[in-house]
Amino acid sequence: MTIRLSDLGKAVRDTEYAVRGPIVARAAELEKQGREIIYCNIGNPQSLGQKALTWNRQILALCEYPELMELAPSTFPADAIETARAILAGSKHGMGAYSESRGVRFIREAVAEFILERDHIGVDPDAIFLTDGASKGVQTILRLLIGDARDGIMVPIPQYPLYSATITLYEGRMVPYYLDEANGWKLSRAMLESSFAQAQAAGTDVKAICVINPGNPTGAVLDEDNIGMIIAFAQAHGLSILADEVYQENIYLPDDAFVSFARVLHEKEVKDVSLFSFHSCSKGFLGECGVRGGYFEFRNVPEDVAAQILKLQSVSLCANLAGQAATYAMVRPPKPGMPSFPQYAAEKAGILDTLKQRAILLAEGLNRIEGIRCNVIAGAMYAFPSITLPTGRTDFDYAMALLEATGICVVPGSGFGQAEGTAHFRTTILPPTEKIRRVVEALGEFHRNFR
């Protein structure tokens, strides 16, 4: 007899991941039938035409096939060759060998320097783990924190479904806290306290709070005061913090800046809150989703717990080496004066400028449609507009009908969670600018008809 669905654990069957759910499956079917689909469902920049940075690809090519240094030396600038040589020497055995479980130490030292330059704070390279994308890091830390069916993890609503899916898979409890749509999706201490109190009343042992900054799907950017408030909240209730900072380079408003949790924790001299911060090669201006590179860094974690993290990571041996090399390329970009700098700077500015233009174009376009309201897209790669629906219709119906009518593939708001009685969808800002214009136009017409 073959394996049956009923043989599988309930946790696996209950796990949901909306970003690749039934609407995307239907989009793939339609595409097979010859329909043009505009995929706005997932933050996967290179699938929508964003080019990889030349610097990254030169480093990866040279690391994977060092013979190129001799075979085609004139194809590669001297700084890329030197960087690849340094990575290979640091890795000791090249791209085809396991590294130590935390990742190549030489690369972790570069990550530590990156954090030092960004935040002016010291970092222990042994508190940095290189991971196959941020997702693996988040899963490792949630695995660590959820030990019992009563263990709860506070997650923003709306959230990125990695969190809900992993908490379900590890059989913990998701404790939702609501972001305030009317207030630019910011979060308040009152809302955190109310969510914590409700969880406690339900017998949940709340272990940690996850924060996504800049936010997915909200696009909101937290300021230093907001971060300080969250740290104080975590301190008051003995919670760990998971700071998902994968969109730290995607900030579009001139008055906003990325502030890391690590920096605020350090400045406030908080020693009794454990912090896990995540970063990735998939977002920012790199968009190297397929390379699976990233890292997490922890602070205020006692040695015996750090040893357990190392043990957990050892079970998967190590992160993939190409992802580790890409992480090095991310944290060690060419500096002014280096041969690769002008091209790197131009490519970086080009990508960030178009993302910024698209963020404005999309939010303004959506707000022109009667029955759709969209907050300013301050950061990240998404819009999460609220929609007015005819009675009896859900946002899932809306997203499916939108796909059938226009070929635009978005994710229903219910996949991210939303306040009772509201409906949304999430779209990325990633399609080329001309397509974003078409998306806005087609959405306007569709929305009028749907209502």
Ligand X SMILES: Cc1ncc(COP(=O)(O)O)c(C=O)c1O
The residues binding ligand X (CB under 6 A) are 43, 133-135, 160, 162, 212, 216, 244, 246, 280, 282, 289, 294
CB of 324 to ligand X, least distance (A): 13
CB of 161 to ligand X, least distance (A): 9
What is the distance between the alpha carbons of residues 145 and 190, in angstroms, rounded to a whole number? 25
- Which residue, 235 or 414, has its beta carbon nearer to ligand X? 414
CB of 297 to ligand X, least distance (A): 14
- Which residue, 62 or 319, has its beta carbon nearer to ligand X? 319
- Which residue, 62 or 134, has its beta carbon nearer to ligand X? 134
- Which residue, 137 or 152, has its beta carbon nearer to ligand X? 137
- Which residue, 160 or 398, has its beta carbon nearer to ligand X? 160
CB of 369 to ligand X, least distance (A): 25
CB of 105 to ligand X, least distance (A): 21
Beta bridge partners of 428: 382
CB of 1 to ligand X, least distance (A): 36
Total Cβ atoms within 10 A of residue 204: 20
CB of 164 to ligand X, least distance (A): 12
- Which residue, 160 or 233, has its beta carbon nearer to ligand X? 160
What is the distance between the alpha carbons of residues 320 and 16, in angstroms, rounded to a whole number? 26
- Which residue, 114 or 446, has its beta carbon nearer to ligand X? 114
- Which residue, 340 or 427, has its beta carbon nearer to ligand X? 427
CB of 283 to ligand X, least distance (A): 7
In the bound state, the residue with its beta carbon closest to ligand X is 133
- Which residue, 134 or 146, has its beta carbon nearer to ligand X? 134
CB of 36 to ligand X, least distance (A): 24
